[in-house]
């Protein structure tokens, strides 16, 4: 059976569709590999902190972020400090960062000026990113 122009066009269309499907599968596999399956930030990062005051008497929250993940640095860690009233309602908030990375299976220190006038505080990790050993080398 001779091949016609229409037959070649159909084969090209099928080939393009198959190539697109393979590309989509590979792309989604890359995205899936970048996700953390079965683990939450609460399992890998922990905050230990105390409330106090700086030298000028302003409220300050200081402590450590612990990275319990053995193979990755926690980088770009941003903290949320919420000032709570006596009933536990948020009355003000502040953000701060952990300078540098939190090494694998280690900790890094932080200080954040806390909202004034709060009865208590709540400190949570707002955002972060994972970085593997050797990432970003040149």
In the predicted model, is pLDDT for residue 48 greater than 70?
Answer: yes
Assign residue 93 a region (left: φ > 0; alpha: ψ between -120 and 50; beta: otherwise): beta
Q: How confident is the model at residue 23 (pLDDT cuts 50, 70, 90)?
A: very low
pLDDT greater than 80 at residue 63: yes
CATH architecture of 41-132: Sandwich (2.60)
- Banded model confidence at residue 133, pLDDT cuts 50, 70, 90: confident
Domain coordinates of the chain in residue numbers? 1-35, 41-132
Q: Is the pLDDT of residue 111 over 60?
A: yes
pLDDT score at 3 = 53
**Is the pLDDT score of 114 beyond 90?**
yes
What pLDDT is recorded for position 58?
A: 96
Task: Between 125 and 135, name the one with better pLDDT.
Answer: 125
Give residue for tokens 């400090």: 81
Phi, psi of 83 (to 5 degrees): -90, 130
Q: What is the pLDDT averaged over residues 96-105?
A: 96
């Amino acid at each position: 059976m001779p091949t016609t122009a229409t037959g070649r066009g159909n084969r090209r269309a099928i080939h393009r569709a198959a190539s697109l499907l393979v590309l989509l599968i590979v792309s989604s596999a890359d995205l899936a590999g970048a996700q953390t399956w079965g683990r939450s930030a609460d399992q890998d990062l922990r905050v230990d902190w105390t409330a106090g005051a700086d030298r000028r008497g302003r409220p300050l929250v200081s402590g450590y972020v612990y990275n319990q993940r053995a193979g990755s640095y926690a980088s770009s860690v941003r903290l949320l400090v919420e000032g709570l009233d006596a009933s536990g309602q948020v009355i003000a908030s502040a953000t701060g960062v952990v300078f540098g990375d939190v090494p694998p299976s280690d900790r890094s220190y932080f200080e954040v000026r806390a909202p004034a006038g709060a009865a208590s505080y709540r400190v949570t990790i707002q955002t972060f990113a994972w970085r593997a050993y050797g990432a970003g080398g040149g």
